[in-house]
Structure 1
Amino acid sequence: MSARVALLLLWGLALNPVTEEAIFFDTRPTLWAEVESLLEPWANVTLTCQSPLWTLEFQLLKDGVAQELVHLGSPATEYRFPLGAVTGDTRGLYRCRYSMDSGRTSLSNLVEVTGAEPLPPPLLSTKPVPWITRGLNTTLLCLGGLRGVTFLLRREGDDQFLEVAEAPEDTQATFPVHRAGNYSCSYRTHASGAPSEPSATVTIEELATPPPPTLTLDSGFAGLLRPGSRTTLTCVAPLSGVDFQLRRGEEVLQVPMASTSPDRVFFQLNTLAPGDGGVYTCRYRLRDELAPWSLDSAPAELVLSDGTLPAPELSAEPATLRPEPGTLVQLRCRAPRAGVRFALVREGAGQRRVHGLLGPAGTEAHFELRDVSAVDSANYSCVYTDTAPPLAGSAPSAPVELRVDGPLPRPRLRPLWTGAVTPGRDAVLRCEGHVPDVSFLLLRSGEEEPSAVVWTTHPSADLVLTYVGPQHAGNYSCGYRSNWPHFLLSQLSDPVELQVAGG
């Protein structure tokens, strides 16, 4: 194993997927441009950086490169950077940052200074979600870089629709949305002035039924538990301030609940009885008595086994327990009778998790492991449970130890841009792997610390280099790290060269 791979594996041991969100104070600063005259916006410009915390240091960044650090004599929450008349030297994409006691810094929003007409586009976003339904107050937020402008909202294909909002002391405007459509916004500095470039289009849908939440059991895996134990189901909605409901089939369950943030709830199932196994779903609705319930979440299945029924038999096909990477392995679980529910259990890192659930008509269930790799190496066993009272469950089968040699398959890295990247813009690279539930790492040639890390349940992820400058130029590769049942790092992808314009 190379020293670089060993370092990355050790670094990865401290990185775990986030399963619960805490509520954090937003420490990002805000940057905007103030002009001496809105009739001539580029004649005399000042960039103002505002921090949410008191600080002694501010710094302006231009086109991805940090400028001189400003040291203050006394703490402040705001600093003004005068640019004067915009010239070729001061045109660019700006952000700012400030120093915190912890030593951490975070970048502000982006402000584009062009010195030319039309003015640069604003940013249009939705709050809280990009859809409308009964009882929900959806808004569109248009954010520009200049303070004191007038914002204009348009709906595609509707020449009669134009919403206007003045922001004399702000850099943004909020528009309520009552109809579905494709929206864009722009701004103007004065009544007779030409509007800016339009924002990117945002689509608002009208939904009779809100979209489903997500439901997970413990760490996101279906669980195998014994009667008398306890577990937690987490339901997460796409917006905050809603009422939640847990159901088993069509039965609405009244169970203890807890929450750490307004978009989720933890349903606590204590002292599980044999009849508590089965398929669970959750849903939500806005706090309006006439508001509809959302679509049901994808189901989460809870398997309870008391171990009183005879153990099944588990076998593998092909019979070799060291299959070649990339092959198909079938694990066959056979029970002494038909009409039962089978669960395949995988063991690793001191945990037992349900890997698959089947309910065949006969006495045998066929579980398939496709395109196996080293991450599939584990001890497997199976159990079966009754589907009708008395709802007993079997003892586990004798384990089958499966070992797949070799590294994890090499991912593919693709740049989501063409040519050289404009300084100050973001560079997005898509890493396409083969295994879900992994951490993706973006690595720059010659550096040991990852440039970006993303954990996802999907077998691919977009890795973002924020606010690219000349210092970001170079060759990048990606890899992925399995989190369970083993800490394994894949081979690295072929490199992709990032070129920065003007470099």
Structure 2
Amino acid sequence: MSAWVALLLLWGLALSRVTEEALFLDPRPNLWAEAQSLLEPWANVTLTCQSRLPTLAFQLLRDGVAQDPVRLASPALEHRFPLGAVTSDTRGLYRCRSGLNSRWTGLSNLVEVTGSEPLPPPLLSTKPVPWITPGLNTELLCHGGLHGVTFLLRREGDDQFLEVVEAPEDTKAIFPVKRPGNYSCTYRTHAAGAPSEPSATVTIEELARPPPPTLTIKTDSAAVLSPGSGVSFTCVATLEGVHFQLRRGEEVLMVPRASTSPDRIFFQLNNLTLEDRGFYTCSYQLRDNLTPWSLDSAPVELVLSDGTLPAPELSAEPAALSPAPGSVVQLRCRAPRSGVRFALVRKDAREHRVHGLLSPEGTEALFELRDVSGAHSGNYSCVYTDLAPPFSGSAPSASVELRVDGPLPRPQLRPRRIGAVTPGRDAVFHCEGRVPDVIFELLRAGKAEPLEEVWSHHPSADLVLTYVGPQHAGKYSCRYRSYPLLSELSDPVELQVAGE
């Protein structure tokens, strides 16, 4: 990133759409099929791989298996792979990749070559989001594999095609959407030709207000804060190029902000006072300033304490501080008086953050830790704060150290689809753990390095093995990690690839 762009971000200035696209350039190439005659689309076919930048190398892949790479004498933006008349030897699911420095780019889009009719289905997607609202131009993008075809859009319940778009120099068509409903698209090679198989259905909703964004607090700001310190919030919208606002209650806060991505913004609050405690939300608005603001994000609570009130007492039940994995631990925080809000704080090698908040009627709060594991190990303390001005807070209690021995609980792995996977398709596994905010990993039997890694706020995640071929058949397991802890491996699952 240039120094000029970095300076703009520090000032919190919005980037133009051209600048945003330049910053987030996807290096993966495009792949499409060209027929010598659209009257006989499979009689003589050529696949064209188009890279984003000039390159000396291209490679075609069929049914998950890489073909011999092509090395060029001079850089080029595209390379053509002639297939000729489609036969059983050339049918399949194709992708390509191009050279990027001394490595390969990621894989291109998928192109299906069947050699038969009906033609394979296109891919229908939404841009930018699968809903319509006043002021937003929502579009449907129908992407086929053949160059120069005519695309047709259908809405469920309508007798005729809603719209027809010719794409003589392209492999996709864009349809503006004005009404909610269930949409699908097809394409045809000539006026008298039969339409292709339909795409998967895409549902467009109509919303009076855009859906809520997500508001989070930076990890190192998630503890009980002291007056004079600072805090950083991140607000992430469901689409790009919008205005954001941060509120405490109903008050809109004009605070320093910055952005490194067109769908999010960082709000910085400095020199906090006790009056800054409470619940924060964020929302967004389309840039025309005439449309309604989105629904509010889920609230995030900011906890501050000046340490002027007497410290509470924290005790554990059962008293054993090395509980068995899977058991329940109760942490009881007692204050000298009632009418206060309690915060349970956990500190470990990585972070120091609020683990729970309660406002009981009496003088004590009971925090319950269920199904404990190594992820619960750490030093716990609690504080309490007044609910009325001047919002004074207590000193922290003495710490209670909790240690749960052993690895994190074993996850469970299962395939999303039963049976053998078609070569060239994706294999999707679901890894179900018992601890949130972890990194899930997919591993092949006998291999130490994970093939896929996914961070998830939830205790489960999908792990995708993209574009599988015969070489991917075998046994797979998953695990998850919450540094420095690592779970046991799941029981293995056999991946079968059709034709093997």
TM-score (norm 1): 0.94
SS at match of 2:442: strand
Structure 1 residue 355: Cα displacement: 0.6
Q: Name the CA distance, whole Å, in 1 between partners of 2:476 and 2:100.
A: 31
What code does the residue aligned with 1:397 have? Answer: S
The 8 Å contact of residues 219 and 353 in structure 2, kept in 1 or not, is answered as no
- Structure 1 residues 119 and 160: alpha-carbon distance in aligned structure 2, compared to 1, 3 A threshold: closer
More moved, 97-106 vs 189-198: 97-106
- Structure 1 residues 23 and 225: alpha-carbon distance in aligned structure 2, compared to 1, 3 A threshold: farther
The 8 Å contact of residues 151 and 173 in structure 1, kept in 2 or not, is answered as yes
Report how many residues are paired: 479
Structure 1 residue 427: Cα displacement: 0.3
Structure 1 residue 463: Cα displacement: 0.3
* Residue aligning to 1:349: 349
* Residue aligning to 2:248: 248
SS at match of 2:414: strand
* Residue aligning to 1:108: 108
Which of these residues, 464, 470, 490, is aligned with residue 493 of structure 1? 490
The 8 Å contact of residues 243 and 286 in structure 1, kept in 2 or not, is answered as yes
SS at match of 1:193: coil
Q: Name the CA distance, whole Å, in 2 between partners of 1:273 and 1:294.
A: 29
Which of these residues, 490, 495, 502, is aligned with residue 499 of structure 2? 502
The 8 Å contact of residues 152 and 161 in structure 2, kept in 1 or not, is answered as no
Q: Name the CA distance, whole Å, in 2 between partners of 1:174 and 1:221.
A: 44
SS at match of 2:100: coil
RMSD across aligned C-alpha pairs, in angstroms?
1.2
Is 1:428 the counterpart of 2:425? The answer is: no
CA deviations on 1:133-187 (whole Å, 9 max, x unpaired) are: 0100000000000000000000011114521000000000000000000000000
Is 1:37 the counterpart of 2:37? The answer is: yes
What code does the residue aligned with 2:118 have? Answer: P
- Structure 1 residues 83 and 104: alpha-carbon distance in aligned structure 2, compared to 1, 3 A threshold: closer
Q: Name the CA distance, whole Å, in 1 between partners of 2:199 and 2:221.
A: 41
What code does the residue aligned with 1:43 have? Answer: A
Correspondence 1:300-449 to 2 at 5 A: 300-349=300-349, 351-449=351-449
Structure 1: state its 5+ residue gaps: 1-21
- Structure 1 residues 363 and 183: alpha-carbon distance in aligned structure 2, compared to 1, 3 A threshold: same
* Residue aligning to 2:127: 127
Structure 1 residue 417: Cα displacement: 1.3
Correspondence 1:171-320 to 2 at 5 A: 171-219=171-219, 222-320=222-320
Structure 1 residue 350: Cα displacement: 5.3
Q: Name the CA distance, whole Å, in 2 between partners of 1:152 and 1:228.
A: 61
- Structure 1 residues 393 and 23: alpha-carbon distance in aligned structure 2, compared to 1, 3 A threshold: farther
Q: Name the CA distance, whole Å, in 2 between partners of 1:231 and 1:373.
A: 30
* Residue aligning to 2:17: none
What code does the residue aligned with 1:429 have? Answer: F
What code does the residue aligned with 2:461 have? Answer: A
Structure 2: state its 5+ residue gaps: 1-21
- Structure 1 residues 364 and 26: alpha-carbon distance in aligned structure 2, compared to 1, 3 A threshold: same
What code does the residue aligned with 2:481 have? Answer: R
The 8 Å contact of residues 130 and 205 in structure 1, kept in 2 or not, is answered as yes
What code does the residue aligned with 1:465 have? Answer: L
Q: Name the CA distance, whole Å, in 2 between partners of 1:174 and 1:162.
A: 13
What code does the residue aligned with 2:78 have? Answer: E
Q: Name the CA distance, whole Å, in 1 between partners of 2:221 and 2:461.
A: 21
The 8 Å contact of residues 222 and 301 in structure 1, kept in 2 or not, is answered as no
Q: Name the CA distance, whole Å, in 2 between partners of 1:284 and 1:370.
A: 36
The 8 Å contact of residues 219 and 351 in structure 2, kept in 1 or not, is answered as no
User: Identical aligned pairs, as a percentage?
Assistant: 77
The 8 Å contact of residues 217 and 223 in structure 1, kept in 2 or not, is answered as no
CA deviations on 1:98-145 (whole Å, 9 max, x unpaired) are: 111152421000000000000000000000000000100000000000
* Residue aligning to 1:9: none
CA deviations on 1:296-320 (whole Å, 9 max, x unpaired) are: 1011111111111111000011111
The 8 Å contact of residues 306 and 393 in structure 1, kept in 2 or not, is answered as yes
The 8 Å contact of residues 220 and 351 in structure 2, kept in 1 or not, is answered as no
The 8 Å contact of residues 97 and 104 in structure 2, kept in 1 or not, is answered as no
Structure 1 residue 221: Cα displacement: 7.3
TM-score (norm 2): 0.94
- Structure 1 residues 149 and 221: alpha-carbon distance in aligned structure 2, compared to 1, 3 A threshold: farther
Structure 1 residue 361: Cα displacement: 1.4
Runs (4+) of structure 1 moved beyond 6 Å?
none
The 8 Å contact of residues 57 and 69 in structure 2, kept in 1 or not, is answered as yes
The 8 Å contact of residues 149 and 188 in structure 1, kept in 2 or not, is answered as yes
Q: Name the CA distance, whole Å, in 2 between partners of 1:443 and 1:309.
A: 52
Q: Name the CA distance, whole Å, in 2 between partners of 1:224 and 1:167.
A: 58
Is 1:153 the counterpart of 2:153? The answer is: yes
